[in-house]
Amino acid sequence: IDMQTRNVVGGVAALAALAAVRYAWTKPPQTVSDKSEVVQLLGGAGDPKLTAVVLALLTAVEDIAVTFRRTSQCKAVNTQNSFGDEQLNVDILSNDLIFKHLANSTCVATASSEETPQETPLGGKGFSVAFDPLDGSSIVATNFTVGTIAGVWAGDSLVGVKARDLKASMVALYGPRTTVSLAVAGVDYCHELTLIPSGGGGLKWEHSQVFDKIKDGKIFAPGNLRGTQDNKGYNELVHHWITNKYTLRYTGGMVPDVNQLLIKGEGIFTNPSSPSAPAKLRLLYEVGPMAYLVEKAGGVSSDGRQSILDLVVTHTEQRTQVAMGSKKEVQRFVDLVGYAEPMIVTK
């Protein structure tokens, strides 16, 4: 075959491959994906009902990822959730998709989300799920990475639980790739799953990484920097990072800013409280599940006094300050910033 013919054949093959990828990302959400590697990973937990709940969440993630790629605009819908946050069309779509798939699993008794922060009966038995359907909606219009956070507890109520009792926790990231970081009770470490095209135009969840260590390092993601104005300890901490030439890696979205601790295996994420800028992150929907992931990956978490995993959820709308990352860096947060009482904030 001459060079010109070879180039033509190669070009046709490349276009065919690209078309297959595009089809996989735009095909209808009801398409069944290959989750065999996930089922194998979850085998260590030894609970078929828990597996069913995790698989339902992954199916919802697939649908949300497809929705993003089929939605030309992320628009406000002139409504607010009970926390006073402006809602976008993609917030509501994501929320509805997760509720639908959890109900279809028949293994979820109760679910609650940041968009609808009441305990909603779903008619199943076995587990309760708390989730933030679209964390980072304030940066979604700029096409930054955003995500879904979910925690799964045994039982039929979410009030009174602790993150240490989680049966599974996950964060999905919708960026250049769609990935999930997953931690499960009874399965060592934290694991990354990547959604990729498979044969025949389908989708497959590939077990792509294991996160087992978060070491000391000079990466920092400082949330709530306004708090440095009247939180002396936080101001000192930020000054320490800057004068010691740490690397700033911060998007303003909790999902990518915490997940980078797993990917990089080092660093710290903080979001403290101050008199003029009180804590805004929710223990049940965001902080608890994310702290579980970090600690399963070898890191630590703290509210300034104790591990986030030991905080009791007294109300679905409870908020807390937080630091997550390597042991040494979180201890520096504890020493300089210290403790702030959790808050319950309603609209």
Residue 284 DSSP one-character state: I
The whole-angstrom separation of Cα 271 and Cα 261 is: 15
pTM to 2 decimal places: 0.88
Strand order across the 247-248 sheet: 247-248, 215-222, 266-271, 322-325, 300-302
Percentage of the chain lying above the pLDDT 70 cut: 85
Helical axes 327-336 vs 232-243, angle rounded to 10°? 140
Residue 4 pLDDT grade (very low, low, confident, very high; cuts 50, 70, 90) = low
The pLDDT of 7-32, averaged and rounded, is 46
pLDDT value at residue 201:
79
Percentage of the chain lying above the pLDDT 90 cut: 76
The pLDDT tens digits for 236-290 are: 999 999 999 999 999 999 999 999 999 999 999 999 999 999 999 999 999 999 9
Instruction: Look at residue 194 and tell me whether its pLDDT is greater than 90.
Output: yes
The whole-angstrom separation of Cα 20 and Cα 33 is: 15
The whole-angstrom separation of Cα 53 and Cα 42 is: 11
The pLDDT tens digits for 209-241 are: 999 999 999 999 999 999 999 999 999 999 999
The pLDDT of 311-335, averaged and rounded, is 97
Residue 1 pLDDT grade (very low, low, confident, very high; cuts 50, 70, 90) = low
The pLDDT tens digits for 158-181 are: 999 999 999 999 999 999 999 999
